[in-house]
Amino acid sequence: MSFVIEKTGLPEVVLIKPKLYNDNRGAFAELYQKNKFFSLLKKKVEFVQENISFSKKNVIRGIHFQIKKPQGKLIRVLNGRIFDVIVDLRKNSSSFGKWIGVHLSSESLEQIWIPPGFGHGFMSKTNNVILSYYVTEYWKPKYERCIKWNDKDLNIKWPLTKNYKPIISNKDSKGLKFKDVKS
């Protein structure tokens, strides 16, 4: 198999590590194959949209999610490095309100599968970050929500340096408090 799957601290959220084949010409990796992906997750997942995000160093995006039409996401970094954050927003889950952070990079080719019902955000660690992600539901602006990246109740441990000045969109800076989230 050309993928290895690693469990994370949140149920159903998994890190997918593709096998990289190197030779004197360069390298090759299989990043997605439907049947293998289904087999790894032990369920069928249909992607309906692919998105791409370009970010400067120090950009923080999220924590984004959709109500009523939650999106599952398969995240990969095409260029650069990020600190990726996933928050369990499923009210009936034993891990509701818990979060994990994972370092992803274009060098490692690792991907993260985030099932529907989770919030997602990331911090760009390098310039020219290019992030690609497949989603299981179409983007519906009327259902889109955002939790503030520095919400006190979530207490996410972002890898911030001493003089770090985050770049946050106006929309994200007006995000909800975690305690005010209604899914």
The answer to whether 120 is a known catalytic residue is no
pLDDT reported for residue 161: 83
Stated length of the chain: 183
Find the catalytic residue in 21, 120, 133, 134.
133
pLDDT reported for residue 32: 84
pLDDT reported for residue 4: 83
10-residue mean pLDDT profile of the chain (183 residues): values are: 84 91 90 82 89 96 94 97 97 95 95 97 97 96 96 95 90 94 73
pLDDT reported for residue 106: 95
Supply the pTM of this predicted model.
0.92
Per-residue DSSP letters for the chain? --EEEEE-SSTT-EEEEEPEEEETTEEEE----HHHHHHHHTS-----EEEEEEE-TTBEEEEEEESSS---EEEEEEESEEEEEEEE--TTSTTTT-EEEEEEETTT--EEEE-TTEEEEEEE-SSSEEEEEEESS---GGGEEEB-TT-TTT-------TT---B--HHHHTPBPGGG---
Domain 48-180, CATH 2.40.110.10 — does that match?
no
pLDDT reported for residue 183: 60
pLDDT reported for residue 2: 79
Q: Where are the domains positioned within the chain?
A: 48-180
Find the catalytic residue in 21, 32, 64, 143.
64
pLDDT reported for residue 102: 97
pLDDT reported for residue 3: 79
